[in-house]
Structure 1
Amino acid sequence: MKNAPKMFFATAALFALCGMVWGIQMSATHDHALSPAHGHLNLIGFVMMSVFGTYYALTPHAGRSRAAGFHYLLTTGAVLVLTPGIALAISGQTEVLAQIGSVLAVLTVALFGFVVLKYGVGHTSHEAGSDSGMTTQPAE
């Protein structure tokens, strides 16, 4: 992916903004019935995407991989399916989207674990300009 950290952080900021506006709306209406959906939007959409963006910023060779692009799409999809899915489940309409979104969220974390094990953390010793002092090598 060309700029994984930028994409993860920009999308995290957008999801955080949506979560904040939604939180204000819930507070103004005194209706907090959908707070679990709001919480998942903030947790996966902002916190997890920020963590992933930080990892890819610290590990640029992982951020340039195809896996990073797929990871971004998978995480974004998880948020966009799970959040309304939870809202629909709470309102008694259907649980299917929440179930699909939950599986996507689990796959997102599993893919993150795979990427960390494959690429390690930080700059590798063979990367030019590695002055961060982090030289953790990928697991073999």
Structure 2
Amino acid sequence: MGIKFIKISVVYFVIGVLIGMYMSMAEKFTFTPVHVHINLLGWMSMALAGLIYVAFPAAAGTTMAKVHFWLHNIGLPIMMIALAFLVSGAENATPAVAVGSTLVVLGVIIFAINIIKNVKG
């Protein structure tokens, strides 16, 4: 699971950097919240989770690690696409932002439980 998290984090990193480049070139910063969330929740959080899973294989081998991966990777794209619509003026995107963010939060909670339960000194 650690390697899967690291690999997908790099995809989010590229997306985040491309959004940042677009905003800089266009001098339109509407998508700053999307850029920031993709870089933080996609690139940084998933890369760190991946490194933790590599360092602690007992946690990586659990069903919780798989559930964390899928909740995070289903929720984040939903949340980011909906957030892009929301900051562009589509107020009806709010429920989708809520659904996506709820999935990510659930994934993070499962990650925390997994780490507390399965990472031993």
Gaps of 5+ in 1: 122-135
Matches within 5 A, 1:49-64: 49-64=46-61
Tell me the TM-score normalised to structure 2 length.
0.92
Correspondence for 1:126: none
Whole-Å Cα distance in 2 between the matches of residues 69 and 111 of structure 1?
10
Q: In the TM superposition, what whole-angstrom CA distance separates every residue of 1:5-53 from its partner, at most 9, and x where no partner exists?
A: 1100000001101111111111110111111011111110001101110
Poorly superposed stretches of 4+, deviation over 3 Å: none
Tell me the TM-score normalised to structure 1 length.
0.80
- Sequence identity, in percent? 25
CA contact (8 A) 1:9 1:49 kept: yes
Higher relative contact order (CA 8 A, sep 6+): 2
Displacement, 1:98? 0.8
Q: What is the root-mean-square deviation in Å for CA atoms of aligned residues?
A: 1.1
Matching of residue 42 in structure 1 with residue 39 in structure 2 = yes
Larger helix percent: 2
Whole-Å Cα distance in 1 between the matches of residues 116 and 2 of structure 2?
18
Correspondence for 1:108: 107
Aligned length: 119
Higher Cα Rg, which structure: 1
